[in-house]
Amino acid sequence: MPEVSIVIVAYKSAEVLPRALRSISGQRDVSFEVIVVDNSAEEGLEAVVRREIPSANVFKATENEGFGRGNNRGFNSSHGDLVLILNPDAALETNDGLSNVVQRFKRQPDWGMAGLLALNEKGEEEWPVARGYPGDKRSGLDFSHLPGQIAWVVGAAMVVRRPVYQLIGGFDPDFFLYSEETDFCLRVRQAGWAIGHIPDVAVRHTGGASESGRDLGEVTRRKMSGMHRFWAKHYGPEKAVALARRDMVRAAWRLTWHGTRSLFTGKHSTPWRKLRLNLGLFLESRDLIHRKGTPLSFEEARNRHGSKPKTGSAKKHVR
């Protein structure tokens, strides 16, 4: 049985995936398996995986199942005591990373899961561990009774104990993309486990590979639709509407300011980008208010992403 199962959910990732796979194949003093779930049925992706790690298991989806469902699919085919959820554009920095993870979990029996240190291309910490949940201070809810001090870690590189993953039922399948790791982490703590952080095991994360070339306003809407599902699920529809109303008002003011500035700076300037971001925030907040706190369904979120079911000869998933 492998000590670590690495599950990678890929979506149009053939260009960035080799670096991640090479960083895995170089790991020493640890037994591991690699499972790649191809959510885009991308031509040539399996060949890329086989070239780097011939023993890897590759599953081609007949449709884009999103991040959470894809990871659940990979988990169902895994065997390791620990499961590393790794983005296709995230590469381990050192060859002893996985062995250090195994040893750290042995010393921390109270951890149900842990995040690794995510670095950007410049080597800077990309996203620090979060001590609170988005909008929690305005939700009126108290999470201080939950185990540990860390609320959630970024989903680009996080390690979960197999029994804990099974206990909480994996990722919530109602999330398509974004905020599913925040929901996952909250449920781990609600199940009685603390979340750890392993800063001496780093991954270099390219970031945004699946959103490359997309309009910033559209990306913001997709991110906020995931956030709105988190709010509605854990804070309730009324509080979700209150938080969205606050976002909408703030975005409206910023639209006026950045819109005026962008007239003088042109397209793709910083004011123009902030204009697009706040337009996305305004529109998605307005829509949640109109729906009275009901978040987008999985299918609606998938359609928003432009990912439609595929037909043809794609292989079925193996459970």
Of 180, 211, 242, which marks where a domain is finished?
A: 211
Q: Residue 70 above 90 pLDDT?
A: yes
In a shared domain, residues 150 and 258: no
Alpha carbon 48 to chain centroid, angstroms: 23
Q: What does residue 57 show for φ and ψ, rounded to 5 degrees?
A: -95, 125
Q: Residue 272 above 50 pLDDT?
A: yes
In a shared domain, residues 142 and 237: no
Of 211, 232, 253, which marks where a domain is finished?
A: 211
State the Cα–Cα distance between residues 22 and 237, nearest whole angstrom.
Answer: 44
DSSP label at 161?
Answer: E
State the Cα–Cα distance between residues 50 and 237, nearest whole angstrom.
Answer: 46
Question: Residue 295 has which token pair?
Answer: 């978040």
Give per-residue pLDDT as tens, 191-246.
999 999 999 999 999 865 555 557 899 999 999 999 999 999 999 999 999 999 99
SS3 127: coil
Strand bridging mode 194-205 / 111-119: parallel
Q: What is the pLDDT of residue 213?
A: 59
In a shared domain, residues 38 and 165: yes
Alpha carbon 156 to chain centroid, angstroms: 6
Q: Where does 154-223 show beta strands of DSSP type E?
A: 157-161, 194-205
How many domains does the chain divide into?
Answer: 2
Residue 313 falls within a domain, yes or no? no
Residue corresponding to tokens 């994996």? 170
DSSP label at 309?
Answer: P
Residue 310 falls within a domain, yes or no? no
Stretch (H or E) spanning 57: strand 57-60
State the Cα–Cα distance between residues 173 and 182, nearest whole angstrom.
Answer: 14
Give per-residue pLDDT as tens, 140-195.
999 999 999 999 999 999 999 999 999 999 999 999 999 999 999 999 999 999 99
Cβ atoms of residues 127 and 118 within 8 Å: yes
In a shared domain, residues 76 and 204: yes
In a shared domain, residues 167 and 230: no
Max Cα–Cα distance, the chain, nearest Å? 62
Of 211, 237, 268, which marks where a domain is finished?
A: 211
**pTM score, two decimals?**
0.92
Residue type, 29: D
CA separation, residue 263 to residues 218, 269, 280, 282, 297 (Å): 21, 10, 19, 20, 37
CA separation, residue 256 to residues 18, 72, 271, 275 (Å): 44, 43, 11, 8
In a shared domain, residues 245 and 276: yes
Q: What is the pLDDT of residue 43?
A: 80
In a shared domain, residues 189 and 56: yes
In a shared domain, residues 36 and 142: yes
Residue 133 falls within a domain, yes or no? yes
Question: Residue 220 has which token pair?
Answer: 């913001």
The number of residues making up the chain comes to: 319
Q: Residue 157 belongs to what domain range?
A: 4-211
State the Cα–Cα distance between residues 59 and 74, nearest whole angstrom.
Answer: 8
Cβ atoms of residues 203 and 90 within 8 Å: yes
Q: Give the CA angle between residues 113, 117, 118 to the nearest 5°.
A: 110
Q: What is the pLDDT of residue 319?
A: 25
Q: What does residue 158 show for φ and ψ, rounded to 5 degrees?
A: -140, 145
User: 16: closest CA among 183, 159, 206, 162?
Assistant: 206
| DSSP helix, strand, coil percent of the chain (3-state; round to 5) | 45, 15, 40
pLDDT band at 110 (very low <50, low <70, confident <90, very high): very high
Residue 316 falls within a domain, yes or no? no
